[in-house]
């Protein structure tokens, strides 16, 4: 059995454009995960990640990035619940299946994987995704 977690906070208090603009960004993220090997070649797991962003801008930056204070709004957070299974094909090669159930899209000055060019109809409040990954180790 394996359990991991992490927390990170980034706070930026900046004055830009020769003192004509100021801004604050407060980004917080954490996750907790667990996995258990149920058979020699099969490991099951799950994790939850929590990302929020608050911003306050004045001057020129306020026209570029709107203020964001309410972390309950989907553009200010991403909450990702994940279930996973890892299959060890042999001792060098594995395949991992992940089911993601996301609330929010965290649209802001930091890229989070949701981009307007890839979503021309706009972002949805909830996103579900199946991710298939493979890995090789020596």
CB 107 within 8 A of CB 117: no
**pLDDT, tens digit, for every residue of 58-99?**
665 556 667 788 899 998 999 999 999 999 999 999 999 999
Convert the pLDDT of each residue in 92-132 to its tens digit: 999 999 999 999 998 766 656 788 778 888 889 999 999 99
Domain housing 102: 2-136
**What span, in angstroms and rounded, lies between the C-alpha atoms of 53 and 76?**
5
Pairing of strands 2-16, 42-58: unpaired
Query: pTM of the full predicted structure?
Result: 0.82
Radius of gyration of the chain (CA): 19
> What pLDDT was estimated at residue 57?
77
Count the domains in the chain: 1
Q: What is the pLDDT of residue 64?
A: 61
Would you place residue 21 in the very low, low, confident or very high pLDDT band (cuts 50, 70, 90)? confident
């Amino acid at each position: 059995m394996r359990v991991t977690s992490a927390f990170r906070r980034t706070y930026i208090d900046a004055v830009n454009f020769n003192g004509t603009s100021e801004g604050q960004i407060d980004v917080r993220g954490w996750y907790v995960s667990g996995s258990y090997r149920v058979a020699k070649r099969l490991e099951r797991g799950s994790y939850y990640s929590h990302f929020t962003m608050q911003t306050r801008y004045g001057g020129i930056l306020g026209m570029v990035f709107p203020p964001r204070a309410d972390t309950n709004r989907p553009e200010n957070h991403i909450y990702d619940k994940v279930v996973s299974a890892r299959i060890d094909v042999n001792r060098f090669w594995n395949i991992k299946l992940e089911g993601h159930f996301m609330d929010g899209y965290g649209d802001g000055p930091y890229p989070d994987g949701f981009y307007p060019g890839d979503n021309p109809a706009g972002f949805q409040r909830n996103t579900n995704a199946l991710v298939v990954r493979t890995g090789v180790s020596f």
